Amino acid sequence: MGFERILHHGTLIAVAILILCVLGISAALRVPVQMIPDLEVRTISVDTRWPGASPRDVEQEILIEQEQYLRILPNLRRMVSTATTGQASIELEFPFGVDINEALIRTNNALNQVSSYPENADAPALTTISSSDQPFMYFRIGPHSEGGASLDLAMVRHFLEDQVRPRLERIEGVSMVEIMGAEERQVRIEVDPYRLAERGLDMADIRNTLRLRNLDRSGGDLDNGKRSVLVRTVGRFREPSDIGQLIVAERDGALIRLADLASIQLSHHELRSSSYYNGLPALILAVRRETGSNVVQTKYAVLPEVDVVNTEVLMPQGLEMTLVNEDAHYVEASVTNIWTNLLLGTLLATLTMYAFLRSARSTFVAAVAIPICTIAAFIGLLLAGRTLNVISMAGVAFAIGMTLDNTIVVLESIDQSRRRGLKPFDAAVAGVSRVWPAVLACTLTTVLVFAPTLFIQEEAGQLYSDIAIAICASILMSMAVAVTVLPAMAAWLLPQHPLGTSAEVSSFDQISRWISKFYSSSIRRAAVLIGMLGAAVCTVLWLTPPAEYLPEGEEARIFSRMIAPPGYNLTEMEYIAQELIPELQQRIEDVPERFHQGETNIPAMRFFTMFVDPQGISIITDPKDPGDLDALMAALEARFTAWPGMRSFASRGSIISSNDGGTRSINLNVSGSNLAEIYQVAGLAYARAETLFDNAQISSEPSSLSLDQSQLEIRPRWERLAEVGLDADRFGYSVAALSDGAFADEMILDDRRVDIYLFSSAGSEQQVDRLRALPVATPSGTVLPLSALADLHESADTDSIRRLNGRRTVTLNIIPPRSVALETGVERVSTELIESMRTAGEIPHGISMDITGASDQLQATREAVSGNFMIAVLLCYLMLVAVFRHWGRPLFVMATIPLGLAGGIIGLTMLNRIGAHFGIHQPLDMITLLGFLVLLGAVVNNPILIVQEAYKRLEEGAESITSAVEDAVRIRLRAILMSSLTTILGVAPLVLIPGAGTELYRGLGAIVMFGIAFSTVVTLTFLPSLIVTIISWQKRLAGRASQWWAQLPRQ
């Protein structure tokens, strides 16, 4: 290259760099800030509401019909269906790389083929689900402190839907707002069954009359002179009070109105859950962000609007909205932590260079590359459409030390040229010209090893790609800076004398001579080669830890749940909640020291949010002291299980997966057709899992593992119904209305559709014994008690039915303790649980058991990473072949890779051994495993310098192979030590300083840091020994071949 011409245009170089800096700073301000990268959406949820329907009816009438058309969707990987009271839910999971928009269209088309739905079932609602698209802000809505204490919170949902939700969803960055803890409005018609029967009417008569009356009809239009007049027959009810005037029958010339038989009121659907904040009743409003939006900016856009909503909308109604939890503070803390570590790493790397260079000017020249390359990383993220998050910022921080490699190599080469007596400008040209091929090789090799990550579609690959983009952008810019900016600055700014004193140079020569002892004789070379190879093999075999899937990305937050036995109702769970609330409220006012001194059984909490439903009680809370996280989980678990029959489940908050231990969950599926057998086997598996691990967290889907949900079966006496003229529809509708209410019609109220339901005068609290005696009017004119028309049998069933790929399934979610890796846990569940149950004959014919969940994704990701790692190694070799223009020489460089990787494993082991004393544990998760790809690109840089310089010395006529290698080590020693130490110290703060978000990248950093440290030793000892040994063998074999050829008889 014409470096001399380039260096003569220093002004243009400076202008180009300044333009780059301006663009980079602008990019850094424009890149959205969020917690983790946006993960690919590949799950579609289908929800269908059918109020009041039993799980079996939901399964038969909705789920099976929908599954018939959904199971044939292209690329469908898994279909999970759940039937609960009044609700059908289906989750469709597609493989990575599928166009989710196309899948959404196909899903909608498939659902349109379902012929019909039950009368009062809602249309299916389709949504997409991503683990990175969880609510990030939660607000409590409750009575205002100065009034509104008598408000019925269950009745304000429509007000919030109309007045609050639209205002928040209009904010840029907000995608959806959910309201939890309230139900939709409902017009309740509570009919006195005795008055109804006296007039010879039944519930079906009321329904039919209501529907015939509640209609508006268009009558077309008429011409009236010059005008056209629209004609409408108006019949719809405008207000709930209008319904009372409905004429339902005529008896003896007198009109019977509905108000004579029933009371009508505007109420709400039966509450299936309730929520509390710090023990006070509240509605919870959850805010979701748009994909790709800036979570911090969105937070600060939402808060002022909330203040306006409070002042203008809620407080006049006696309500107020209060922020109770938000994830943006964790984002801010994590990003601030990385910025701090980045600056600290920069400072350490700069001080390291100064320690070697002993010149402020030289250090400044080298350090200029750091901000330029950092800015380039932001430009790369913006051009790639990525966000500024914990992962990408870690990539920027990792790149600091790596970007200095090229700078150090060029600066060292320029210094070597100046020691030969060249002038500063000539030395700059000669220095960069000498190492340009090596700089290009190191840069392209490092960049190419990241290329295979583009083919890793799993979540780990999506997370890791942000690091790859940041590092690649920085490395490419570092090459440009090293061959243009640095030589230009060196020519004008470096001192006239060479860097370092003669004593310092002599010290490096002494170190080089000491290192040469390792390869000075054949015996020592053999010892080094065999010893290091043996150590690497032993490290891989004995120190490689079992694998985890993804880092948990834990927040100091607890998600704990009390799981109730089947058959409990909301009233009973509310009773338990009211016992628990005062005890938890005391912990909010508490201080952590009281728990530490043993004065309380539950640690102090910052807040708690409680959700109550018939299946259990869920609590979300933060301890005031993050160190009390495990103790608080254990305390809540003990408190929950103190109630007879209750089970508990707790997990830590996660920013990567759902808050149920998703990254460490072993899902054990028990599938079949007979629910009783499925529950029996699942119960046995649950008991075995409890003994398999100590302190494991185990939950089940559905939550109950028995058919103990009380059920009242009303079996009509068909002959008796035929005698009195009742058909199945009229009788079934009357029974539904008399028991828990039945859908009659709907009306328009405040521009919203509101359901109209018929109840008996007992409302939703009908008693079984009273139900038997309720009168039913028949078409024959007789009035009979219900028990005379049907037999009432009490039985037991399930409160939830779960189906996996069309088969009834119970799934046990087993989260092993943190001391047991996911890979080990899967192996133990497979061998010690499933196989032992098969051996014991505890799995009946027709029941299957298999393991899915994070274990499946672990295996798929590991296979993808392993395959792409081999591709990266091949690309690295081919690039070195192109640079060296030789097929054999790159093998010297490639031989150092396994030893460098073994160093990464040693470093991870050391981190865990030492970190155990400080509460730090770093598993070998898939993000950590991807650190070996970073290491692959980093460990080859120094060997490239040695191999290139050694062969250059041989070509220049070195006395011997050993002397050529010794000269190569001596010339490159300072650059190798300087680049290794700057990289290690640049990464060290990310690994050694704990803080928010560090668990996401600590393992990757440890692999890189310790791998480079070990690789430096390999480069200075193993590699020279290998080069001398191999070339000596080559010359010896070549000499013998020449002798053999010379001894051949000539004709």
Instruction: Give the pLDDT of residue 1003.
Output: 87
Contact 110, 46 (CB under 8 A): no
Instruction: Give the pLDDT of residue 253.
Output: 80
Instruction: Give the pLDDT of residue 577.
Output: 94
Q: Give the pLDDT confidence of 816-861 residue by residue, as tens digits.
A: 988 888 889 999 999 999 999 999 989 998 899 999 888 778 888 8
Higher pLDDT, 957 or 692: 692
User: What letters, b where the CB count within 10 A reaches 16 and e where it falls short, cover 84-121?
Assistant: bbbbbbbebebebebebeebbebbeebbeeeeebeebb
User: Residue 621's CB: how many other CB atoms inside 10 A?
Assistant: 24
- How far apart (Å, rounded) are the C-alpha atoms in residues 826 and 822? 6
How many residues are given for the chain? 1051
Cα distances (angstroms) measured from residue 424 to each of 12, 365, 431, 911: 20, 14, 10, 45
Q: What is the per-residue DSSP string for 770-813? A: HHHH-EEE-TTS-EEEHHHHEEEEEEEE-SEEEEETTEEEEEEE
Instruction: Give the pLDDT of residue 999.
Output: 80
* Owner of token pair 């009680």: 617
pLDDT at 502 over 60: no
Q: Give me the chain's average pLDDT, please.
A: 85
Average pLDDT over residues 318-345: 84
Instruction: Give the pLDDT of residue 992.
Output: 84
Q: Give the pLDDT confidence of 997-1014 residue by residue, as tens digits.
A: 778 888 888 898 999 999
Contact 321, 310 (CB under 8 A): yes
* Owner of token pair 């997370």: 463
Which of 749-758, 955-964, 1023-1032 is predicted with the least confidence, judged by mean pLDDT?
A: 955-964
pLDDT at 32 over 80: no
Closest CA to 397 of 1025, 1001, 941: 1001
Does residue 301 sit in helix, strand or coil? helix
Instruction: Give the pLDDT of residue 81.
Output: 94
Instruction: Give the pLDDT of residue 353.
Output: 86
Average pLDDT over residues 382-387: 82
Q: Give the pLDDT confidence of 446-463 residue by residue, as tens digits.
A: 888 877 776 777 777 777
Instruction: Give the pLDDT of residue 337.
Output: 82
Q: Give the pLDDT confidence of 322-332 residue by residue, as tens digits.
A: 998 887 777 78
Contact 559, 620 (CB under 8 A): yes
Q: What values do phi and psi take at 1022, rounded to 5?
A: -65, -50
Instruction: Give the pLDDT of residue 16.
Output: 82
User: What kind and span of H or E run contains 468?
Assistant: helix 459-480
Average pLDDT over residues 732-753: 88
Listed ranges 586-600, 768-782, 991-1005; the one with the highest mean pLDDT? 586-600
Instruction: Give the pLDDT of residue 1035.
Output: 79
Which of 489-498, 547-556, 749-758, 971-980 is predicted with the least confidence, judged by mean pLDDT?
A: 489-498
Give the burial class of 247: count Cβ atoms within 10 A of its Cβ; 0-12 exposed, 13-18 middle, 19 or more buried. exposed
Instruction: Give the pLDDT of residue 1041.
Output: 67
**DSSP summary character for residue 599:** S
Does residue 745 sit in helix, strand or coil? strand
Closest CA to 1024 of 634, 566, 520: 520
pLDDT at 375 over 70: yes
Confidence of residue 579 (pLDDT cuts 50, 70, 90): very high
Q: Give the pLDDT confidence of 147-201 residue by residue, as tens digits.
A: 555 667 778 888 888 889 999 999 988 888 988 887 888 999 999 988 888 888 8
Structure tokens at 566: 């089947």
Domains and CATH numbers, the chain: 3-35+331-549+859-1040 (1.20.1640.10), 41-129 (3.30.70.1430), 185-216+246-268+709-797 (3.30.2090.10), 568-600+617-708+801-856 (3.30.70.1320)
Instruction: Give the pLDDT of residue 495.
Output: 63
pLDDT at 41 over 70: no
Radius of gyration of the chain (CA): 37
Which of 117-131, 191-205, 446-460, 481-495 is predicted with the least confidence, judged by mean pLDDT?
A: 446-460
Confidence of residue 534 (pLDDT cuts 50, 70, 90): very high
pLDDT at 55 over 80: yes
Cα torsion at 838, 842, 847, 853 (round to 10°)?
-70
Instruction: Give the pLDDT of residue 466.
Output: 83
